[in-house]
Amino acid sequence: MKPTIFITRKLPEAVIQPLKEKYEVTMWNRDVQAVPRERLINEAQRADALLTMLSDRIDETLLETARELKVIANMAVGFDNIDLAAASKRGIAVCNTPEVLTDTTADLTFALLLATARRIVEAAEMVKQDKWRGWSPLLLAGQDVHHKTIGIVGMGKIGEAVAKRASGFEMRILYHNRTRKPEVEKQLGACYASFEELVEKADFVVCLTPLTAETRNLFTLEVFQKMKKTAVFINVGRGPVVDEQALYEALETGEIAGAGLDVFASEPIGADHPLLKLTNVVALPHIGSSSIDTRTAMMDLCVKNIDAVLSGRRPPTLVNQDWVTKGIVQ
């Protein structure tokens, strides 16, 4: 029998055709709605491969029943939705989609920074809602971005790409990371800073850090209170790194000036979310890498990862380097 693959979201037929030619492919046929947990578990019990989204929880409970599973291809750079230790213990390769989305996500990050700083969304809505009655010297006056200080928390590939864009605006670049990046410092004039120094000095605090035990709830009320009153907070990393109640309080009381958010602690959020009630918040539906070119490239990389493992080869973007295969050549 052919190996079986389950895809947890509707993908274009042209993308998955190479898999269909060699394998038995089943796909959850919804664009936005997540596959129900029960269906995911049932499919995993017989699947040799899963092509998953960041919103799919692949935990010990699911993996202990997935006897045939050999590879999980996650369509994201992040993989905090997958229990890596449990997967490695069972000889399951876990793959992600790094590199291909770096520039697209950096573009979105800087666009969100600009939109928040210059109050673009508020201004556009004023015109659309027929509330523009005239001109005044400080009508929807925002903040300049050029020549200001950007503080990047999490200087991975995306952080580096954001820093490049910031250099074009002649910004001073501070960054905080687990390890220093001498080449980035040399090429872009970026300066390493402690987390405390960064949040105190930056005009724009940009969070791009992955979600780990150390970064969960990294941004607390105390942290926001250390920022400048004029600071703008941007999060295109992971929602749970922020205490959202603390962020709400900081924005409502004027501890910081604004926030641009592409990610939230629990997604999707509803219109009743407290942060959406604030005019100084620009909220996006987790679209950091969402361009046609990039999302297609991410899908293609997932397909290549799955085909590699099921064909007895090492996948291009293996996450769990301690992977011990189920009879597969490395």
- Tell me the two tokens of residue 11: 């993908």
267 is catalytic: yes
In the residue annotation, 178 being an active-site residue is answered as no
SS3 breakdown of the chain: % helix, strand, coil, rounded to 5?
35, 15, 50
Active-site hit among 9, 165, 176, 238: 238
Cβ count near 277 (within 10 Å): 11
Query: What does the alpha-carbon distance between residue 59 and residue 41 come to, in Å, rounded to a whole number?
Result: 10
Among 64, 214, 222, 267, which one carries the catalytic annotation? 267
Q: Is 176 a catalytic residue?
A: no
Residue 13 phi, psi (nearest 5): -60, -40
Strands 93-95 and 49-52, bridge-based pairing: unpaired
* Catalytic residue (one of 9, 176, 286, 295): 286
Beta strands in 201-257 (DSSP E): 204-207, 232-235
CA distance 5 to 224: 45
Active site residues: 238, 267, 286
